[in-house]
Chains A and B, each alone.
Chain A
């Protein structure tokens, strides 16, 4: 550990910090005065204050007043100017002949977004976990230049959603690369982003493409943490390979798989950026997802309805909180298991 701290990163950090060192020294004198008043332990408040202030104003406070917003109506922006309507916004969201048929709902776009998101989540998560798992297994083999191959799959993770959206718009457009390949193989070019089902499939493919490297990395870390002697012991016992996979690899990877599953779920529910750039929710409403619905209702459409957007965001938040609690529960269980092991 100590050697690690003496490494390049530490030195680089020291070099970067050196020029601003004098600035920090300027703070020292007044802060010593403050410390005389508060005592050394009291300085904790000083260190905590900036972050918690920003956090309070821009995260916590909005989180709390969001509930109030969802109970008000009208187009006014500030809470004080808005009229209290109670649960009306929620009633409007849930005012449906049949939840399965968005056309029978007062807020049909909301239910279209809900069902689209649900379909997206199920398909995307399944595909993401499967592709990430296969990729991690492949990368876990004794490859030459493994870090290169790991980097290959990780590359798109860092790209901005707008860039991802534009890259794929360019490839999927009518005269794009994909149609060139279809054409060369003797097929009929398809207008991928204009046909409903293809556009929906494209959102799934593109989001998997953009993020699978991240999850593969988590799974790879899990695979590499499995002690090799377990496999050697299984080999000594003459355990058949598939059985070893089912009985050793998967169970020991299960905690990581669960983490990946929940993380993908949480992020799939919120999908927005790359899809918005790729399809803009279209064609029609076939790729309209929840976050875009909130954005459209709250900000983009002519008839802005902040209360309705806020109510929808609270419903989405509730789903996310449940998922987060599950994730924290898993993390805690993993930690305990790690301790007992």
Chain B
């Protein structure tokens, strides 16, 4: 059991508030990812959970027990640091043993745990080397190993993949997912990379400027972003966002008008002040059709052919850039005039405050 509950947690450095009234319930065995742009407070939040930093307000509980003032050492958590923070003067074995020795564990038990972790992470061949003699990927494994041997109630991971090169990052990501599966331990994972968040998380917490923007499963966040920020942050390439006018056009139908000219109709009523809304459409939900047959006209500005799919950058009459992702290969060239066809069943609407509007 390791359920971590944060109640009204806030943290300020002097007068600068970094976190504001964070309420969060991390379930046992869950892999939860904190994601957000740099400076959003995600690492501070992790340090508060770890006990390396104290909140200025609110309470943190592990399994119902208030640990707000308990020092880091006594919370039973393990952490993997962004820089790995391996002790450079100790061998890998000593690195793994250090925490266990401090807990006054018997030597035999320590050796057994190290052997087990070394087998699991395939680091046995270099147990007697120093961190400086290891590659980045190997150091990363040792850092994870140091957390595993502790047999903690929960793992805290602070951007653990950010120091790896792109290829290694993808394979290590998969290994981490497998590890979570095997250990079925609670993991709190901090990253600024939304793809990492999407691929790893049971649930994602999107943070901005010290506040939680949305909590949900990856697909929840993808399909139903609660606001413009989440909509823009989750998913690649970014969601296209266009200002439109919404108006009721008949029974149970609304018209959305772009820039006073082109427009289209959807099912349902849009409730918005003055009808000012922002239309969000993922590039995958836009298709290219011959001129005159789509929703709006656009001029192709750039074609990125990736083989399996093609990313088409277009400019519509208002001057905005719209991206479309077309499956397979697409015979257009920059300068061509095309029409964009919207998949209206997948569109998102946001009001002038940036919050999601449900179409009723």
Contact = CB atoms under 8 A, between A and B. Distances in A.
A6 B71 contact: no
B252 interface: no
Contacts of A39: 71
A14 B89 contact: yes
Interface in B84-136: 88-89, 130-133
B50 to A, nearest CB: 13
B89 A10 contact: yes
Interface of A, secondary structure class, is: helix
Contacts of A5: 88-89, 132
A2 B90 CA distance: 12
A106 B133 CA distance: 72
A336 interface: no
Interface in A207-226: none
Interface of B, secondary structure class, is: loop
Interface in B60-101: 71, 88-89
A26 B71 CA distance: 22
Interface string A268-306: 000000000000000000000000000000000000000
A340 interface: no
A2 B89 contact: no
Interface residues of A, number: 8
B71 A3 contact: no
B195 to A, nearest CB: 29
Range class of the B interface residue count: under 10
A14 B130 CA distance: 14
A147 interface: no
Nearest to B69: A39
A51 interface: no
Interface string A3-22: 10110001000100000000
Nearest to A3: B132
Nearest to A14: B89
A15 B205 CA distance: 48
Contacts of A188: none
Nearest to A2: B132
A35 to B, nearest CB: 9
B231 to A, nearest CB: 41
A211 to B, nearest CB: 36
Contacts of B71: 39-40
Nearest to B90: A14
A5 B131 CA distance: 11
Nearest to B89: A10
B192 to A, nearest CB: 25
A39 B74 CA distance: 13
Interface string B8-26: 0000000000000000000
Interface string B127-162: 000111100000000000000000000000000000
A40 B132 CA distance: 29
A3 B132 CA distance: 6
Contacts of A40: 71
Most chain A CB within 10 A, of B71, B131, B132, is at B132
Contacts of A10: 88-89
Contacts of A14: 89
B128 to A, nearest CB: 14
Contacts of A3: 132
Nearest to A39: B71
Contacts of A6: 88-89, 130, 132-133
Contacts of B89: 5-6, 10, 14
Nearest to A28: B102
Interface in A6-53: 6, 10, 14, 39-40
A80 to B, nearest CB: 47
A44 to B, nearest CB: 15
Interface in B291-350: none
A182 to B, nearest CB: 58
Nearest to B102: A28
Contacts of A2: 88, 131-132
A110 B71 CA distance: 62
Contacts of B88: 2, 5-6, 10
A2 B88 CA distance: 7
A6 B133 CA distance: 9
Contacts of B131: 2
B103 to A, nearest CB: 13
Nearest to A1: B88
A2 B130 CA distance: 10
A169 B132 CA distance: 53
B198 to A, nearest CB: 33
Nearest to A6: B132
Nearest to B72: A40
A30 to B, nearest CB: 16
Nearest to B71: A40
What 6 pairs between A and B have smallest CB-CB spacing? A6-B132, A2-B132, A5-B88, A2-B88, A3-B132, A10-B89
17 contacts: A2-B88, A2-B131, A2-B132, A3-B132, A5-B88, A5-B89, A5-B132, A6-B88, A6-B89, A6-B130, A6-B132, A6-B133, A10-B88, A10-B89, A14-B89, A39-B71, A40-B71
Interface of A: 2-3, 5-6, 10, 14, 39-40
Interface of B: 71, 88-89, 130-133
Given A2-B88, A2-B131, A6-B133, 8 more contacts: A2-B132, A3-B132, A5-B89, A6-B130, A10-B88, A10-B89, A14-B89, A40-B71
